[in-house]
Amino acid sequence: MLVFFKERLVLLSVPKTGTTAIESALRDRADMVISNPPELKHAPLYRYNRFFRPMFEKVCDARMETVAVMREPISWLGSWYRYRRRPLMDGHPNSTRDVSFDDFVAAYMEKQPPGFARVGSQAKFLEPRPNGTAVKHLFRYEAFDRFLDFLENRLQTEVRPARENVSPSMELNLSGRTERRLRRRCAAEFQLYDSIR
């Protein structure tokens, strides 16, 4: 999470959406950099609403706007799958080394996913709160240039992130049956992504 107080902007770090690279590029420009622990670095909107928003409003008398990036849901799952398949994960219970992508997605849809497929939900991460707190500026990962243009205009600085935390590249195959199940079971993910202009 990055906070730009003068600009009244908070960047929420949705995992697997390039935010680690943005954090590295803008950490010297930000007023607050929350990079650890992961539960705070990747604080979802509900955690921001509960802990950070009241601090800004009560202590600083400031209303902040939030910005975030969302990745196409199958691509997002593919990035998690590839990330957990890297050699460093060999022998770890969350490794996907001996699991096909189709089986990974099927496991992700289980009521209680096994550890290797427990990666959360972008829709839940970004879900508006009952008090009206919502992500004001939401961008598609697949249109990252628009997100960078927004940051450059808002912060009046050049933003040139390097590639970081990149999952190994590989071809992923998802059966039509599994994809149809995913689109039904996780409809909120696809609806939210499709709603981003």
Domain count, the chain: 1
In this prediction, residue 163 carries a pLDDT of 81
Residue with tokens 């730009």: 4
Q: What is the DSSP letter of 51?
A: I
Q: Which tens digit of pLDDT belongs to each residue from 65-96?
A: 999 999 999 999 999 999 999 998 999 999 99
Among candidate residues 12, 32, 28, 24, the one with its CA nearest the CA of residue 161: 24
Q: Would you say 66 and 136 are in contact if contact means Cβ atoms under 8 Å apart?
A: yes
- CATH (domain of 60): 3.40.50
Alpha-carbon dihedral angle through residues 131, 137, 139, 145, given to the nearest 10 degrees:
-160
Q: Specify the pLDDT at position 129.
A: 97
Task: Look up the domain containing 28 and give its range.
Answer: 2-195
Can you tell me the distance from the alpha carbon of 114 to that of 112, in angstroms, rounded to the nearest whole number?
7
| Nearest partner of 173 among 117, 106, 121, 89, judged by Cα | 106
Per-residue pLDDT for the chain (197 aa), expressed as one digit of tens each? 999 999 999 999 999 999 999 999 999 999 999 999 989 999 999 999 999 999 999 999 999 999 999 999 999 999 999 999 999 899 999 999 999 999 999 999 999 999 999 999 999 999 999 999 999 999 999 999 999 999 999 999 999 998 877 777 889 999 999 999 999 999 999 999 999 98
What is the residue whose two structure tokens read 């699991």? Answer: 99
d(CA 137, CA 67): 5
Per-residue model confidence (pLDDT) at position 197: 86
